[in-house]
Amino acid sequence: MIDRRRCSAAVLGALALPGLVEAAPEPSASAPASVSQPTRANILHVPFPVAETGFDPAQVGDLYSRTVTAHIFEALYRYDPLAIPVKVRPLTAAAMPEVSADFRVWTVRLQRGIFFADDPAFQGPDGRQIRRELVAQDYVYAFKRHFDPATKSPALSSLEDEGIVGLDTVRNAALGRKQPFDYDTPTEGLRALDRYTVQFRLREPRPRFLTTLTESGGLGAVAREVVEFYGDAIPAHPVGTGPYRLKEWRRSSRIVLERNPGFREVLFDAEPAADDVQGQAWLARFKGRRLPLNDGVVISVLEEEQARWLSFLSGQVDFARVPNAFTHHAVPTGSLAPNLAKRGIQVRRYVNTDFTMSWFNMDDALVGGYTPDKVALRRAIGLAYNIDRDVRIVRRGGALPAQAPMAPGTYGFDAAYKSDNSSFDPARAKALLDVFGYVDRDGDGWRERPDGSPLVLRMATQSSQIERQFDENWQKSLAAVGLRIIFETAQWPENMKAARAGKLQMWSLGSTLGQDAQPALAYMYGPSIGSQNLAHFKLPAFDAIYRRMLLLPDGPERAALFIEASKLVCAYMPYRIHVHRVYTDVNHPWISGYRQTPFRNEIWQYIEVDAALRERMAGAG
C-alpha cells in the first residue's frame, strides 16, 4: 500500500493494496448525540503525519485512512498481535478456512452473533432502528464493491490478480453497457452458501489467498444498506463490526474514534515468542481482558515534523515515530537519550518492511519510452541521485539503501542481491548522457535533448519541510550532471489523483508491504496501470514473470523470479528504488501494549492507557 512519499509510513495490512483515490467526504461526521465523549484520561492520542482521505474501505488506498478503517471494519482473519513470525487467526471467521488441494476453492464459516455498530441506516419495516447481524453476504458485497466501476477502487488490480471467477464479467458488463454494476448477479467465484458461509472460487491456484482475507482496512465486511443510505457521503459514515466507531471528523485535522458499545466480547489473547520478554509480560497482564483496552482514539494530523515531536514531548500524543530531523535528539548514539530515559519513555528501532521510490511516467514524451536513449536518460537520472546524502543528511541515518522493491522481512527479499538501485555514480551518469546525445549545445551549463530542444525535468512534490529537503537533494544531484529540474507543488491527494490519471512526469512515494513482496512488483505490472502502476510501465517479459509468481508455491523457483523481475525493473528504470526505512518508535510510560509490528494496522485496541500515571506525570511536569 502506498504511504506518503519518502518520509512517512506505518504498518500495512497483508494485502498490500497500493494506490490512493481521493474521496469526497463531508467536513465532519458525528455519532448520535446521546453518546458522550469519553474523558481524555481513557483515550489514546495518536499523531498522523499525513491527512486522511476518507473512510470507505472500497475507495481508499492510502495508509493512514486504511489504518482508521482497519479499526472500524473487520476482515475474516487477523494477525496475532504479538506473534513473530506472524500467525493468522480467525477474526469474524469461526475457524481457519477450508481450502481445496489445488488452492482454488476457499470456504469460510462465520461466527454467529456478530453485529454492526448501531446506525440510522438499519431500520426495520416499521421504521425503527434494529440491530444488524453480520452475515456472509456482507463479505460478498464488500468484495464486489471493488469491482464496481463507480467505486474506482485502488485495490481493483490486486483483486483482479486473485482471479475470483465471474467478478470481471459483471464489471465488464457494466462498463460495456454503461449501466450500474449489478450486485445481484450471481457469480461462481464469490457466493454466500448460506447465511454464515462464504466461498471463493479462483481461476488459478492462489496459495497465499489467506493474506487477502486478513485485510480489514480494505476488505472488511460492509453492509449494503449503509452504502445505499449514505450514497456519495459514505466516506464520512463508516459502519463496521469492529471495536471502534467514528465519533468526529474534521478533515485533515482531527479524527475521533470511540469504543463501539455494541462490540461483541473479544478477549485478549496472543502467542508471543518464548524469548519476547515484553510480549510475555503483556500476555500475562492482558490475557482474558475484554477488547478494546481503551475507550477511544483521538488522531491529530500533524504534518510538520517539529509539531509532531513537540506534541509527543509535551504528552499531547502518547506515542510517535521520531521524525528524521530529531533522530539525533532522541537516539544520539543509537540508544535513547538520557533525558528521555529519565521520563520513562520507551524506544524501539527496526527496519520497516517498506521501500521508497521515484517513478517516471513511461507515457511522457521526455522521460518515457523503451528506446535506448529514453532508457539511458532514466538510468542516468537514477545514477546521479545522491543516495548517500539521502540516507545520511535527509534521513539522519534512518534508512538502508535498497537494491530492489522487496523489503527486509518479506518473502522475496534476498540480502545477497545487489543492483544499481543503490549506486551513486555521477561519472557513469554523465557518460550515458553524452553517448545518447543529451549534451549542452549552447554552453549555458544545462544539457539539451538529442534534437537540441530544452531538457527540463518536472517532479511533483508537496510543501512540507521534509519534502523540501528531498527536493534539494534531487536538485543538487541532477545539477551536478547538467540536468535541470523544477518542482511542482500540490497537496498529496491532488498529486496522487494526477498520478493515477497519468498527468505527472515524475514523483516520489513510499510503500509498506505485507508478508509477501509480490505486491511491490504490482507497481510495475502492466494490468495494474491506473492503480498501483503509476509509471504506466508495460513490459510483456515482466508481466509473464509476475503471473508465474502468482501461481507458484513458495520455494526456490518463485524466489528466483523475484530477482529476475527486479533485474528488468533496474534495467528499464521505470522506478528508481531508494531505501528501506529504519524507524524509531517512542512511547510514554503510561501506555502499555504498543508495538507497531509488520503486516497489520490493527493495534489501537491492544493498548491500555494508565490514566492515573498520565495525570501524575502531567502534574509533575
Match 527496519 to its residue by C-alpha cell: 351
Q: Would the pLDDT of 586 be above 70?
A: yes
Match 522506478 to its residue by C-alpha cell: 575
pTM of the model: 0.80
| 276 phi and psi angles, rounded to 5 deg | -90, 90
Rounded mean pLDDT, 532-552: 95
Can you tell me whether residue 500 is helix, strand or coil? helix
Residue 337 is predicted with a pLDDT of: 96
- CA angle at 88 for the pair 83 and 92, rounded to the nearest 5°: 125
Helix (H, G, I), strand (E, B) or coil at 383: helix
**Per-residue pLDDT tens digits for 275-321:** 999 999 999 999 999 999 999 999 999 989 999 999 999 999 999 99
| pLDDT confidence band for 3 (50 / 70 / 90) | low
pLDDT class of 2 with cuts at 50, 70, 90: low
SS3 state of residue 426: helix
Q: Provide the pLDDT confidence category of residue 28 given band limits of 50, 70 and 90.
A: very low
Span 590-597, average pLDDT: 92
Nine-digit cell at 175? 462498463
Nine-digit cell string for 214? 486478513
Range in 265-269, 394-398, 448-452 the model is least confident about: 394-398
**CB within 8 Å of 124: residues ≥ 6 apart:** 130
Looking at residue 154, what is its pLDDT?
87
Amino acid symbol at 550: L
**Alpha-carbon separation of residue 254 from 27, 246, 299, 465 (angstroms):** 11, 11, 6, 21
Upstream peptide bond of 292 is cis (omega within 30 degrees of 0): yes
What's the grid cell of residue 411? 518473502
Give a three-class secondary structure readout of 543-605: HHHHHHHHHCCCCHHHHHHHHHHHHHHHHHCCEEECEEEEEEEEECCCEECCCCCCCCCCCHH
Residues 403, 563: Cα–Cα separation, whole Å = 10
Residue partners of 339: CB distance under 8 A and separation at least 6: none
Q: How much is the pLDDT for 19?
A: 28
In the predicted model, is pLDDT for residue 41 greater than 90? no
Number of helical (H) and strand (E) elements in the chain, helices listed first: 20, 22
Backbone angles phi and psi of 612, in degrees to 5: -65, -45
Mean predicted confidence (pLDDT) in 582-589: 95
Q: Is residue 85 very low, low, confident or very high in pLDDT (cuts 50, 70, 90)?
A: confident
Q: What pLDDT score was predicted for residue 25?
A: 30
Q: What is the pLDDT of residues 198-245, one digit of tens each?
A: 999 999 999 999 999 999 999 999 999 999 999 999 999 999 999 999
d(C-alpha 402, C-alpha 578), whole Å: 5
Question: Per-residue pLDDT tens for 328-364?
Answer: 899 998 899 999 999 999 999 999 989 999 999 999 9
Residues 361 and 367 sit within 8 Å (Cβ to Cβ): yes
Q: Which of 148, 191, 157, 188 is nearest to 550 (CA)?
A: 157
Query: Would you state the pLDDT for residue 511?
Result: 87
CA contacts within 13 A on the Cβ side of 103: 13
**Angle of helix 372-384 relative to helix 465-479, nearest 10 degrees?**
120
Is the CB of residue 580 less than 8 Å from the CB of residue 408? yes
327, HSE (Cβ side, Cα atoms, 13 Å): 20
Question: d(Cα 387, Cα 476) in Å, to the nearest integer?
Answer: 12
Q: Could you give the domains of the chain?
A: 53-241 (3.90.76.10), 354-359+386-581 (3.10.105.10)
- 22 compared with 480, residue with greater pLDDT: 480
- Closest to 10 measured CA to CA, from 603, 495, 499: 603
Query: Cβ neighbours of residue 588 under 8 Å, at least 6 residues apart?
Result: 312, 315, 318, 319, 343, 344, 345, 614, 617
Residue 261 and residue 424: Cα distance in Å, rounded?
55
Residues 488-523 have pLDDT tens digits of 999 887 898 899 889 999 999 998 887 889 989 999
| Tens-place pLDDT, residues 450-491 | 999 999 999 999 988 889 999 999 999 999 999 999 999 998
Report the greatest alpha carbon distance in the chain.
81
542, 568 contact by CB (below 8 A):
yes
Q: How many residues does this entry show for the chain? A: 621
Residues 6+ apart with CB under 8 A from 42: 294, 295, 296, 609, 611
Picking from 207, 132, 193, the residue whose alpha carbon sits closest to that of residue 163 is 207
Mean pLDDT of 245-251: 97
